[in-house]
Amino acid sequence: MEVEDLSIRYETDGGAVHAVDGVSFTVDRGETYGLVGESGCGKTTLGRGILRLLDRNAFVESGEIWFDATLPGWADENGQPRREIVEDDAYPVRTDGMTDLAALDGTQIRDVRWRNVALIPQNAMNALNPVYRVGDQIVEAIARHEPATPLEEAHGRARELLDRVGIEPGRADDYAHELSGGTRQRAVIAMAVACRPELLIADEPTTALDVITQDRVLGELDGLQEEFGVSVLLVSHDVGVVAEACDRMAVMYGGKIMESGPTRRVLEESANPYTLGLRNAVPSLEGDVETLISIPGSPPDLEDPADRCRFAERCPFATDVCGEGHPPTYDVDAAERGEIREATADRQHRSACHRLDVLERMREEAHEERTWQRTQESRS
């Protein structure tokens, strides 16, 4: 999947809220890609926006979501887009077979959901219909996208899927209230992979679960990825979960991507003040819990965001240049060599920061509490 310059807004009584603003990233086949950030940064809106599962007052304002799939009516016998479809500008299909999900109408996007892209919603406790048996809900997804599948076979698949995620197959006859929180979470995962999608969007899949169940759920996702070759977009506020599960990641703040790249590099060689601040707030088994440092201040107002770096007001390294518009994403490798230039490939280590000319100083001083106290004092 290739997300290009995607913007999503909410229309409210107070005006438009720009929850996602010009976001771009790619997810490779078989990869787990993480989106991390504090509450309200736009990551859930981004994940749900890909499938257009947004509230009625939310709209995809601009951008493209290119996905490697072809709708059934647009494909030839080999599953590839027909030449007349590719050549007709009325269809959002590229010559390489990628389809723009943002340009599909309501009926077309419903053909994509579950069959090509599936969602594990944020609150699994309320994701299952309370008046339908768990197995019947899985069968419903299969019947919608594979109408030729006999009902008996679909029920058999539902039980196999539950068994695959560690649930006793007989519990397909249970209702949601008869399952524990962790079991419900795994049942939702079974439902999400029922039609063998190419991409799984997991929105906070471990929230409200104890650490043992969290590890079990992440293990199930990893196993399903290995078995079916599914790609995973993992949305989380938990840096530890992203560090454990993701190949690459992006750090969001105020509707923008602040830093992205290989997970290990982003977390161990952070190149953005916001990422450095997040790291300070994550406890370590090797460190002293009393050394945790919070980021002072509050997230920006997205109804009328100022024309500056989104993190500038809370950043201890901000200068006048940070007020000259939100920065583009720069190549971190080049910055470490003393060259400041924009990144040209999504898979590079990238950072949206005007101060990469003092990157090493920022990395060194960001670990000190007094650095962040300066920001609090300047705001007082």
The residue with tokens 């990551």 is 43
Instruction: Name which of 197-211, 220-234, 274-288 the model is least confident about.
Output: 274-288
| Calpha distance 21→255 (Å, rounded) | 5
Q: Mean pLDDT of all residues in the chain?
A: 90
Range picked from 19-23, 188-192, 207-211, 216-220 for highest mean pLDDT: 19-23
Please state the pTM of the whole predicted model. 0.92
Specify if 367 maps to a domain: yes
Statement: residue 317 has pLDDT above 70: yes
The DSSP bridge pattern shows strands 32-36 and 231-236 to be parallel
Encode pLDDT of 4-29 as tens digits.
Answer: 999 999 999 888 999 999 999 999 99
% of the chain beyond a pLDDT of 90? 64
362 occurs within a structural domain: yes
Residue 84 placed within a domain: no
Write out the residue range of the structural domain in which residue 330 sits: 285-379
* Residue 380: band (very low, low, confident or very high) from pLDDT cuts 50, 70, 90: low
pLDDT at 366: 93
Torsion-angle region of 180 (φ positive above 0: left; ψ -120 to 50: alpha; else: beta): beta
Q: Give me the half-sphere count of Cα atoms (radius 13 Å) on the Cβ side of residue 154.
A: 20
In this structure, is residue 351 part of a structural domain? yes
pLDDT digits 0-9 by tens, 137-149: 999 999 999 999 9
Average pLDDT over residues 275-303: 80
Most distant CA atoms of the chain, gap in Å: 68
Q: Please tell me what DSSP assigns to residue 313.
A: G
**Amino acid letter, 252:** M
Considering its fold, how many domains does the chain have in total?
1
Helix (H) or strand (E) run with residue 257 in it: strand 256-262
Q: Give the orientation angle of helix 181-192 with respect to helix 211-228, to 10 degrees.
A: 10
Q: How many CB atoms lie within 10 A of CB 146?
A: 15
Q: What is the pLDDT of residues 34-52, one digit of tens each?
A: 999 988 899 999 999 999 9
* Sign for the pseudo-dihedral over CA of 147, 153, 159, 163: negative
Opening angle at CA 35, ends 249 and 98, nearest 5: 80
pLDDT for res 375: 66
Residue 25 in tokens = 């990233």
Of 132, 129, 120, nearest in space to 220 by CA: 120
Residue 289 pLDDT > 60: no
Distance between CA atoms of 104 and 242, rounded to whole angstroms? 31
Work out the percent of the chain whose per-residue pLDDT is above 70: 96
Q: What gap in Å lies between CA 102 and CA 112, rounded to an integer?
A: 12
- Of residues 60, 35, 16, the one with CA closest to residue 253: 35
**Own/partner pairs, 298-305, CB within 8 angstroms, 24+ separation:** 299/38, 299/40, 299/41, 299/253, 299/254, 300/254, 302/17, 302/18, 302/19, 302/21, 302/42, 302/254, 302/255, 303/12, 303/14, 303/15, 303/16, 303/17, 303/18, 304/15, 305/18, 305/21, 305/254, 305/255
What CA–CA distance (Å, rounded) separates 195 from 111? 12
**Is the pLDDT assigned to residue 248 strictly greater than 90?**
yes
15-26/58-67 β-pairing: unpaired
For residues 29 and 231, the answer to whether their CB atoms sit within 8 Å is yes
Segment 168-179, tens digit of pLDDT: 999 999 999 999
Q: What is the mean pLDDT of residues 232-261?
A: 94
Number of H helices, E strands in the chain: 13, 12
Angle at 257 between CA 374 and CA 229, to 5 degrees: 135
- Note the pLDDT of residue 378: 61
What is the rounded distance in angstroms from the CA atom of residue 158 to the CA atom of residue 166? 13
| Choice among 123-127, 239-243, 300-304 with the minimum mean pLDDT | 123-127
Q: Are strands 99-100 and 58-67 parallel, antiparallel or unpaired?
A: antiparallel
Any domain includes 353: yes
Lowest mean pLDDT among 23-27, 153-157, 334-338, 375-379: 375-379
Average pLDDT over residues 80-91: 91
Query: Which SS3 state, helix, strand or coil, does residue 243 take?
Result: helix
